[in-house]
Structure 1
Amino acid sequence: MTAGTTRRTTAMRSRTAAVGAIAVAGALILTGCGDQTNGGGSSSTESAKSNSAPLFSKLPKSIQDAGVIKVGTNAEYAPMESTEGGKIVGVDPDLADALSKQLGVKFQFTSGSFDGLITAVNSGRYDIAMSSITDNKQRQEGLDDKGKKLGEGVDFVDYFVAGTAIYVKKGNPEKIEGIEDLCGKTAAVQRGTTYEQALKDQSKKCTSGGKKAIDIESFDNDTEAQTRVKSGGAVAGINDYPVAVDLARKADSGNAFEVINKQYDAGPFGIVLTKKNTELRDVLKEAVDAIIKDGSYQKVLAKWGAQSGAIEQSAINGGK
């Protein structure tokens, strides 16, 4: 979803401050929303031992034996992750498919609420979260927006970069040219995202500068925020840049929205893991670097029109 998410508070998304082949082939299990999975299953211990994928031997034994990495996502952010025909598709599932070829295990995606993903990883429900989640110090350390400790922090394996974008109704009737133009106006956003925080920060700047605060309308999902903008109830919506661009291109055949040509607070999207899961974290970084090196990473981004978010090398906890 720009680092989300992140395109998102203890589990803020960039989505930044933000994340196709309609069925992913081979070693990737895709799921619809909820806990239902589409086919597949765990590999046996015996077959795991004979796995010849380049990085399989570096995986934790529990993952080797299961043959599966359980992934939490919020499949509402095309082109990064969305649901089509009961399958989760997009940049993140396709990148996971490429990673699976390096690791020799399946990635089993399950969609749920964005603001619960980090908690679900720390509770052990998922091995990782991959959902256009912006890597930042706040999430690494488990802090709220005032620096207060909320819970366990998490580690990130960075794989993409994006910023926050503003989208408006087609034709831009309110002539919004930047986030500062939202002072005294209504803006729609998904709750718990880093771009919700970006609006709060800008609203403080508005009032300190003698202008009216932004009327921030926060919704449980991004579809509701989009509907609010489309109906004219909000003058703008805030999202990850690649998500906003995709929305403007596809909604009502490109006739519903347009994107203000600026990105704010660009930062990395990261795969989320618990602080204790360093073995899986380190091999995932190797796998990301491997798909960058072999070109499969770039092919996935090109397929979804997300080349602007490409990185040259992965990092662990590279966000600020």
Structure 2
Amino acid sequence: MAFFSTRASTRAGSGASVRPLTGTRRSFAALPAVVLLGTAALTACSDPGAAANGEQPETTAARNGVAYNTSPDQQRVRAQKDAALAAKVPELIGRDGKLTVATTAGSIPLSFHATDDKTPIGSELDIAQLVADKLGLELDIQVTSWENWPLKTQSGDFEAVFSNVGVNKDRVKLFDFASYRAAYMGFEAKKSASYDIKGADDISGLRVSVGSGTNQEKILLAWNKELEGKGKPPAVLQYYSSDADTILALSSGRTDLNIAPYPSTVYRENTRDDLKVVGKVNAGWPSETLVAATTLKGNGLAPVITEALNSAIKDGSYAEVLERWGLSGEALPESKTITEATFGSR
């Protein structure tokens, strides 16, 4: 899942680690599912000097009509404090006046570095900002690697995770969720490719780059098991140490496919001339899942975030955020709190 978000996973060095997609993976506690490719950024605030110096926001005009602002001067969509919601924030979380949010920076347009190479920006952080505003809290962004957020959320270092995290049966044992976006994965390939990826048969024998311990990998493992049952060659899994290395391998022909959060594959299709989307799958395949804000199980924060998100949906600020990042097609009509008790009843 989003699906989905960052990792500094078991991929070694700047090259690729390659192995057939067979066998089982390590436990959720060690390395959970969603991937956002990327490296760590250190600061949480945009550069206040950019606009003051007369600089215009840097934008990337995409073929889908979206002008992506990738500068540190984000001029984010903001929301008004809701006093009733602010009063519901658990005391242990609200007493410092901050909402400490983890993200994994690196996957445009979800969570990535601005053009100053240090400011984390993207749709995930814009949505987190709306929630913090509604709750009357200062947004405190902490960039971390994908495999670190579960333990640091359990330890209390992070109060919420906004990083394309998809809800799954393993995660609900440890965390509660407030849904805010549809969750899809995209397959991308060179523009000259003729692939049409819809299921297991379509990846047989191909080299596919994927994040370790991710929902994407779970899908491919299941598809390879299906292929092996048919006596067909499985796909070959390839790991790279960064998003840049992954895309370079794809564009240079060292891999045949990359599977990544769908919004990121759409962004590249619309801003590059050499890549295209060749398939789309729900991040919870064979079931469906959603992207959600992630909080420690039972601490009472997830229901409050759900209410804040629904307030943002109602006042239009949520739709405005998704529109500015080209994600309107993944909007939800309503946020819902998802716990272990309610997971199977969605």
1:108 maps to amino acid: D
**Amino acid of the residue matched to residue 87 of structure 2?**
S
The counterpart of 1:101, out of the listed 122, 127, 133, is 133
When residues 319 and 92 of structure 1 are mapped into structure 2, their CA distance, relative to the original with a 3 A threshold, is farther
Q: Is the 8 A contact 2:205 2:234 kept in 1?
A: yes
Cα separation, 1, equivalents of 2:291 and 2:268: 19
CA distance 1:179–1:115, change in 2 (3 Å): farther
Q: Within 2, Cα distance between the matches of 1:122 and 1:298? A: 31
Instruction: After superposition, give the CA deviation of every residue in 1:252-291 in whole Å (9 maximum; x if it has no partner).
Output: xx2131001433335200111111312x122111101110
Q: 2:24: which partner in 1?
A: none
Letter in 1 for 2:190: K
Q: CA contact under 8 A between 2:44 and 2:119: conserved in structure 1?
A: no
Q: What's the CA shift for 1:74?
A: 0.7
Aligned 1:5-16 pairs, distance under 5 A: 5=5, 9-10=28-29, 11-14=31-34
Cα distance change, pair 175–65 in 1 and its aligned pair in 2 (3 A): closer
TM-superposition CA deviations, 1:184-239 (whole Å, max 9, x none) = 11100122211011111111111111101111113344433222212211100001
CA distance in 2, matches of 1:89, 1:236: 27
In 1, the alpha carbon distance for the partners of 2:198 and 2:244 equals 22
Superposed displacement of residue 304, structure 1: 0.4
CA distance in 2, matches of 1:179, 1:233: 22
Choose the corresponding residue for 1:74, options 94, 97, 104: 104
Partner of 2:328: 307
Equivalence for 1:65:
95
Alpha-carbon distance, 1:37 to partner: 4.3
State the alpha-carbon separation in 2 of the partners of residues 90 and 34 from structure 1: 13
Alignment check: 8 A CA contact 1:56 1:102 kept: yes
* Letter in structure 1 aligned against 2:40: C
1:87 aligned partner, one-letter code = T
Instruction: Tell me the equivalent position of 2:304.
Output: 283
Mapped partners of 1:277, 1:52: distance in 2: 20
Aligned residue number for residue 40 of structure 2:
33
Give 1:296's aligned residue.
317
Q: Is the 8 A contact 1:3 1:133 kept in 2?
A: yes
2:100 partner amino acid? K
Match of 1:118 in 2: 150
Asked if 2 retains the 8 angstrom alpha-carbon contact of 1:188 and 1:226, the reply is no
Matched AA of 1:138: D
Q: CA deviation at 1:36?
A: 4.4
SS across alignment from 2:183: strand
CA distance in 1, matches of 2:34, 2:6: 1
TM-score normalised per structure 2 = 0.74
2:212 is matched with 191
Q: Which runs of 5+ in 1 are unaligned?
A: 20-31, 41-50, 142-152
Q: 1 CA distance for matches of 2:82 and 2:196?
A: 54
Could you tell me which amino acid in structure 1 is paired with residue 180 of structure 2? Y
1:263 is matched with which residue? 281
Offset at residue 178 of structure 1 (A): 3.3
Paired residues, number: 280
Q: Distance in 2 between matches of 1:224 and 1:192?
A: 18
Deviations 1:106-165 (A, max 9, x none): 121121211221122112221111100101112112xxxxxxxxxxx1111111112121
Match for residue 48 of structure 1? none
Judge conservation of contact 1:53–1:101 (CA < 8 Å) in 2. no
Letter in 2 for 1:94: D
Q: Which runs of 5+ in 2 are unaligned?
A: 10-27, 48-80
Q: By how many angstroms is 1:58 displaced?
A: 0.9
Q: Is the 8 A contact 1:248 1:257 kept in 2?
A: yes
1:54: Cα distance to partner?
4.2
Structure 2 SS opposite 1:115:
helix
- In structure 2, what is the Cα distance between the partners aligned to 1:182 and 1:224? 21
Counterpart CA distance in 2 for 1:179 and 1:219 is: 24
